[in-house]
Amino acid sequence: MTVQEIHRRFVAGELSLVERVEQFLKAIDRQQLLNAFVEVYREEALARARALEIRREKGEALGPLAGLVVAIKDNICYQDHGTTCASHILEGFVSPYSATVVKKMLAADAVIIGRTNMDEFAMGSSNENSYYGPVKNPHNPEYVPGGSSGGSAVAVAAGMADLALGSDTGGSIRQPAAFCGVVGLKPTYGLVSRYGLVAFASSLDQIGPFGRTVADVAYFTPTFAGHDPCDSTSVPFEIPDYIAQLKDLPQKLTIGLPEEYFQEGIDPQVRDRVMGAVEALKKQAGITVKPVHLPLTDYAIATYYIIATAEASSNLARYDGVRYGYRAREVEDLQEMYFRTRSEGFGREVKRRIMLGTFVLSSGYYEAYYRKAQQVRRLIKEEFDRAFQEVDLLITPTSPTPAFRLGEKLDDPLKMYLSDIYTVTVNLAGICALSMPCGSTEQGLPVGLQIIGGPFQETRLFQCGHLLEQLLGP
């Protein structure tokens, strides 16, 4: 059943929400090996399910998420609940307020079942950089689920929740969606409030959804998107009814294939599965596929990691042991407390990025690195603008490879960073992209296809993705 059908049947009295929550809790218990959850709100979820059933019996109006069970990433604040970003430095921290997206989901009558594991402070492409240990791929536990929102992707893929929220700074929703065989959306920057999302790189971060199908994500997104006065980067944009327009694909649609995304370095099986999907689209009346050029793709990884690490070094300066979170004990003075707190509290990858970011912002290097990266970012944005004057959407692989083995890239940061080559440009340009399954490798690992749209073109992403689901089948 789609989530829309589940909601309809719950409201009609055909489903028990308590029983559904109990089934999800059993699924979480059975699959603890996957390490998808940091904390499960067992009693709270059951109590909320009972309360919603009582409201239904009284004939009260119910929100669009009534009957549905949602998981949230451990960097999204939920009042009176822990929020640790999978880091030792925030161990024991309890949020004093809820993120706007959480408030909206609760107002829509969702049941939140728990917070999911992630790469520490959302820094990673494999979900191996967590204080709570690595998350594992549900298709093969010897492989990574992708990062940094791996826990949320696994929760949906392994039947531990109907839907989940993650965050995407350089591909952290789309890549795990691809590795786990689910659908993930990186919304246009400003479509979804960042208020209550613990910041990694503020100009790149966006909260986004995971679902089993494109229709599930299209139904879920309007319940938490929209303008928020608490977030100065939130755009006053009227959210369309995505689900109502799902089948209204334009009679003429031009899709671009960026040649730079299909060159050396891509796994042959990934290329074949994506091109197979493209061939299926070509056979549809009114759809044209043409090559496009995005030559600045070669500079994307360098540009992204300069900007992201610079913003991270600034954002993470607040974790000093003075106000909240972990604090080193038995220290002689304030300086030693700062040093030991941050040394002991942060993991290896977070410290690496803080040092990189501090370096590129330092006197003498700011102009050579950070300023230059911002100039290239503008050029990348303009390159996408020109491409969307010629085509309506772009189709690329989500990742150059399928999921890789646990530990395979941990000791080679550059190799790990290159996993994001096809996703970081979307964040740099502030546009939207959807990752969806388009088949599997001979080893049974999912392959993800990425559909990229211009600013606030989510409707078209959903329409094209839904059509592709019908063409490719289960």
Active site residues: 73, 148, 172
Q: Say if residue 88 is exposed, middle or buried (CB neighbours under 10 Å; 0-12, 13-18, 19+).
A: middle
Determine contact, residues 178/168, Cβ cutoff 8 Å: no
Place of tokens 């690595």: 134
CA angle 342/153/158 to nearest 5° reads 125
Question: Nearest Cα to 425, choosing from 381, 360, 359?
Answer: 381
Question: Nearest Cα to 188, choosing from 458, 463, 377, 461?
Answer: 458
Grouping H, G, I as helix, E, B as strand and the rest as coil, residue 265 is coil
* H or E element that contains 257: strand 253-258
Q: List CB contacts of 441: < 8 A, sequence separation 6 or more.
A: 267, 269, 270, 273, 402, 447
CA angle 316/419/89 to nearest 5° reads 25
Determine contact, residues 125/148, Cβ cutoff 8 Å: yes
Sequence letter at residue 469: E
Distance CA 107, CA 227 (A): 16
Distance CA 147, CA 305 (A): 16
| Ramachandran angles phi, psi of 318, nearest 5° | -70, -15
Distance CA 106, CA 223 (A): 10
Distance CA 450, CA 397 (A): 5
Query: Using omega within 30 degrees of 0 as the cis cutoff, is the peptide bond preceding 148 cis?
Result: yes
Distance CA 186, CA 431 (A): 8
- 3-state percent helix, strand, coil for the chain, nearest multiple of 5: 45, 15, 40
